[in-house]
Amino acid sequence: MPDSADMPKIVLHKASSRGYANHGWLQSYHTFSFANYHNPERIHFGALRVLNDDTIEGGMGFGTHPHDNMEIVSIPLSGELRHKDSMGNVTVIRQGEVQVMSAGTGIFHSEYNNDDTDLCKFLQIWVFPNKKNVTPRYGQMYLEGEGRRNKFQQILSPNADDDGVWIYQNAWFHLTDMDKEFWQEYKLKKAGNGVYLFVLEGDVSIAGNALQTRDGIGIWDTQEIGIMSHSPAKLLLMEVPMRL
């Protein structure tokens, strides 16, 4: 038997255990403590502070509000999100794109469903930065869907010259679309990091755990992670430092 000290550490978050807020125009599920949802055992996973699964009614959205010293990532899952900020950016973020903001010394922004009738679904993710009080910045890019079929498509990194958008943190995000009964391994890029995997669709096995749609699992003290799909599956993989 392997020494328990050599075994990876794991935290499993089933979809049904997440915090939930119904604001009428907004349905939001919180993997980690957020707003009125507070769970002392779910404050963050390393540098990953917020993972919100949001659905916005047509024509509705978040009015202008502030952020500072946080890396903020938005990934639309369906529909379109209209963005406006104090840096002068006025954009629409669509399914298949990823948006990032380094809030740094402080920004104000608003986000609205760009359609008057259809729902907009997106992931709102916050990551603690490794550099504070930077000049705020904005980034957005389109992701080729075929680039993640049965492989990890990098969508975020610490490097401006690398694939995807970039943030002030030693973090790497990937998307993958897996065929049924497909196996792949992810090798961590930096010692001391952990990985949080969020199942967007499908049934998978990760580190001996069965996960379904919207389940999440955090794994650390390991160098690689194996994933087996039991149905067509879509996953978001977030590698982040475990120490702040």
Domains in the chain with CATH codes? 4-241 (2.60.120.10)
The three-class DSSP label of residue 6 is helix
d(CA 22, CA 65): 19
Q: Phi first, then psi: what are they for 181, rounded to 5°?
A: 60, 45
> Which residue, among 48, 30, 49, has the nearest Cα to 38 in the 3D structure?
30
The C-alpha angle with vertex 35 and arms to 216 and 76, in degrees rounded to 5, equals 50
Query: How many Cβ atoms are within 10 Å of 161's Cβ, its own excluded?
Result: 6
Output the six-digit token pair for 240.
Answer: 């982040």
Q: 130-141 burial by CB neighbour count: b if 16+ within 10 A, else e?
A: eeeeeebbbbbe
| Model pTM score | 0.96
CB 59 within 8 A of CB 53: no
Span 185-198, average pLDDT? 98
Residue 3 pLDDT greater than 50, yes or no: no
Q: Please state whether beta strands 153-157 and 165-166 pair in parallel, antiparallel, or not at all (unpaired).
A: parallel
Output the six-digit token pair for 166.
Answer: 């970039």
Q: How far is CA 97 from the centre of its chain?
A: 13
Which pLDDT band, with edges at 50, 70 and 90, does 6 fall under? low
Mind listing the pLDDT tens digit for each residue in 201-224? 999 999 999 999 999 999 999 999
Contacts of 162 (CB under 8 A, 6+ apart): 154
The per-residue pLDDT of the chain, averaged, comes to 96
Mind listing the pLDDT tens digit for each residue in 149-178? 999 999 999 999 999 999 999 999 999 999
Output the six-digit token pair for 78.
Answer: 């369906």
Burial of 199 (0-12, 13-18, 19+ CB in 10 A): buried
**Residue 5: what pLDDT?**
52
